[in-house]
Amino acid sequence: MSATPEIEALRVSPYRDGGAPMTGEELIAANPYRPWPARITSIQTLTEHEKLFEFRFIDENIRNAFHHQPGQFVELSLFGVGEAPISISSSPSKSGFIELCVRRAGEFTQRLHEMQCGDIVGIRGPYGRPFPFEMMKGHDVLLVAGGLGIAPLRSLINNIHDERSEFGKVTIIYGSRSPQEVMFRDQFEMWRHRKDFDLYLTVDHPDDGWDGEVGLVTKPFQHLEVDPDRTFGAVCGPPVMYKFVVQEMRNKGISYDRIYMSFERHMKCGMGKCGHCQIGHQYCCIDGPVFNYWEAKNIQGSM
Ligand SMILES: Cc1cc2nc3c(=O)[nH]c(=O)nc-3n(C[C@H](O)[C@H](O)[C@H](O)COP(=O)(O)OP(=O)(O)OC[C@H]3O[C@@H](n4cnc5c(N)ncnc54)[C@H](O)[C@@H]3O)c2cc1C
């Protein structure tokens, strides 16, 4: 699909005072509110309600300059519809594109689900505080995702996968309501076949073909052997899940400041200006969305 004149206009790279064109990094920094045009290059249907979209920035400078870390999000805009925060689901170790896993929830996400490969959207970011990937190196990592929480955690899991030798034991627990709602089945099969990932898939309501665990996402904790002095926890899922998963991690002896969780709050600007995502004295968009349990406990009304 060829770009419209409006899109072409957005592609023009401004110049510095001296006349040299700005680098991609300079362009992004010059106006962090500006969405950059990106093309949908792949769409994968994951479940009845979720699709995985791959986007590539049209401007090569932006494409090369855009770097994120696991746990960060972008503001995705659909022209004439609006803007929404969406976690980046792909690993930073894969460059040139980003993947967003989106659940159909209301008007915005419905319109995205109707789009086709070649369609153009706007993306600004990346925003927010990521998971402490570098700090996790040299340690065991216990990752727990519920439902759509697998979207941001997938970025972290794939990043760990690509630098596997830097980490100790890696355990992944992923819970869904039913087998039909399990996302990224092919990736789970790949991780399952690797001997260096301990994987637990669990559903609340199994069907006849289900051969994984049955029960809440906390159930596999019964089998887990955790060395608390060398383990980081990472949790992402529906709000109700955090309290119970964190309690299980605490029962295993993992310390408050090594349990990380990602919070979703309604947000607009993504840059700590509008106040929509304020929880107590913190802005979820810049102080989070990833907080450790110690911080989360001290944010009024968050846990
Ligand atoms: C940091 C962050 C990361 C996110 N990452 C993802 C992601 O990876 N994939 C994804 O599908 N969605 C993600 N969301 C949620 C996404 O932004 C909303 O689903 C989207 O804005 C809904 O827009 P809509 O117009 O389709 O639905 P609306 O009509 O606005 O809402 C439909 C339903 O979704 C609920 N909803 C709306 N916004 C949020 C929100 N921010 N958090 C929780 N519930 C919400 C509403 O309360 C309502 O029940 C994220 C939100 C945040 C803050």
| pLDDT for residue 193 | 80
Domain boundaries, the chain: 5-127, 133-262
Whether 277 has a binding-site annotation, put simply, is: yes
Segments in the chain forming alpha helices (H): 5-11, 24-30, 60-65, 107-113, 133-136, 150-162, 185-193, 239-251, 284-287, 293-297
Reported as a single tens digit per residue, the pLDDT across 10-55 is 555 666 666 777 777 777 777 788 899 999 999 999 999 999 999 9
CATH (residue range 5-127): 2.40.30.10
Whether 269 has a binding-site annotation, put simply, is: yes
In angstroms, what is the span from residue 124 Cα to ligand 1's centroid?
Answer: 17
Reported as a single tens digit per residue, the pLDDT across 206-232 is 898 888 889 999 999 998 999 999 999
| pLDDT for residue 210 | 87
Residue nearest to atom 4 of ligand 1 (CA): 86
Beta pairing partners, 53: 43, 100
Rounded to whole angstroms, the Cα distance separating 42 from 99 reads 9
User: Is the four-CA dihedral 140, 100, 202, 254 of positive or negative sign?
Assistant: positive
Reported as a single tens digit per residue, the pLDDT across 107-159 is 999 999 999 999 999 999 999 999 999 999 999 999 999 999 999 999 999 99
Fold entry, domain 133-262: Rossmann fold (3.40.50)
CA 146 to chain centre: 13
Residue nearest to atom 38 of ligand 1 (CA): 266
Rounded to whole angstroms, the Cα distance separating 84 from 279 reads 19
Rounded to whole angstroms, the Cα distance separating 251 from 114 reads 45
Reported as a single tens digit per residue, the pLDDT across 226-248 is 999 999 999 999 988 999 999 99
Whether 285 has a binding-site annotation, put simply, is: yes
* Residue 98 · residue 63 · CB < 8 Å: no
Q: Which of 266, 269, 284 to mutate to test the pocket of ligand 1 (most atoms within 8 A of CB)?
A: 266
CA neighbor of 108 nearest in space, from 78, 86, 87: 78
